[in-house]
Amino acid sequence: MTKTILVAGSLHYDVVVNAERLPYLDETLFGSKVGYVAGGKGRNQAVAAAQNGAKTFMAGRVGKDAAGDFLKTDLVAQGVDTSLLQVDPSAASGMSVAVVMPSGEYGAVVVSGSNQAFAADHLDIPEDTAILLLQNETTDAANIAAAEKARAAGARVILNAAPARPLFDDLASLVDILVVNRGEAAVLAGQPVEDVKSAVAAATTLCERVRRVAITLGGDGVVHMRAGGRAEHQPAFRANVVSAHGAGDFFIGALANQLAFGSDFEAAIHYAQAAGSIFVSTEVDKRAGIRPLHIRARLGEDDR
């Protein structure tokens, strides 16, 4: 059974600051802690897939700088194959600054840098790739080129449409599974998403354009639906939240892992929710830039 996942997307050198709240306009706010970690939705989802046991490749673009070296070293340390990474000779590596509050909620600013120059026109799809993971931190052109190649190779395409931007038909037609949070669902569906009922309505609208959709609702669980089917709601697992930073990416990586291993969609979502609940309740190792997790061992093989 194939277990290979290709993630084509962003890599960021993240500065993570802990503070009581987000600063107001023109305010200088003192924080309590700072960490320098590897991030980006592409990187986070690739590491999540690898931590959950899948053979994982990362395709993206970093700068020819210290941050780029840091990002490549991190991926190798997490067991992710970096042979498809591009190195930009002029643009700096992408970066972000995140402020994490005691509640676990956060706000962030991203500078894309070399991520915007990532080109997938000549991307080689690894043998036995089952899943291609895409996000919106690279260009639509790169996503379309990667999706076309993956679909031609027999892989399924998951698009995490984050951050939210218009989803054009040439990309939507290539997407097998669309994963969004409530804010992104509201933008794409053109209607508010505030609770499970409104998420069901948004999923119904989105399934007019994509084959299957999953809307993550944090503590309210997940609403998922396939085109022509009926929307379903899966409640969340209880968790003592330490930090929600990166939780969506970890959910998606775990979901892709289970689909690559042959699980059906509902079972894959259930597993990803369980993995996500462990993730948000586990402290980040700021020095290594990861959470010290071994998800499969903690869930048990029977839960996979």
Q: How would DSSP label each residue in 13-34?
A: EEEEEE-SSPPPTT-----SEE
pLDDT score, position 109: 86
Beta strands in 182-275 (DSSP E): 212-216, 222-226, 232-234
pLDDT score, position 104: 79
User: What tokens does 104 get?
Assistant: 């676990």
Structural domain of 245: 4-303
Of these residues, 81, 88, 176, 249, which one is catalytic?
249
Amino acid 151 reads: R
pLDDT score, position 247: 85
Reply yes or no on whether the pLDDT at 38 is more than 80: yes
Cα-based torsion angle of the residue sequence 269, 108, 298, 42 in order, rounded to the nearest 10 degrees = 60
Percent of the chain at pLDDT exceeding 90: 76
**Mean pLDDT computed over every residue of the chain:** 90
Beta strands in the chain (DSSP E): 4-8, 12-18, 33-39, 55-59, 61-63, 86-88, 94-100, 106-111, 129-135, 156-160, 177-181, 212-216, 222-226, 232-234
Reply yes or no on whether the pLDDT at 82 is more than 70: yes
Cβ contacts of 159 within 8 Å, gap of 6 or more: 134, 135, 143, 147, 167, 171, 175, 177, 178, 179
Amino acid 116 reads: Q
Q: What is the pLDDT of residues 201-236, one digit of tens each?
A: 999 999 999 999 999 998 899 999 999 999 999 998
Reply yes or no on whether the pLDDT at 261 is more than 50: yes
Q: Please state the rounded mean pLDDT for residues 149-175.
A: 97
Percent of the chain at pLDDT exceeding 70: 92
Reply yes or no on whether the pLDDT at 285 is more than 70: no
Q: Please state the rounded mean pLDDT for residues 50-64.
A: 95
Total Cβ atoms within 10 A of residue 196: 17
Q: What is the pLDDT of residues 106-142, one digit of tens each?
A: 888 889 999 999 999 999 999 999 999 999 999 999 9
Domain CATH for 281: 3.40.1190.20
pLDDT score, position 45: 96
**Domain count across the chain:** 1
Active-site annotation holds for 249: yes
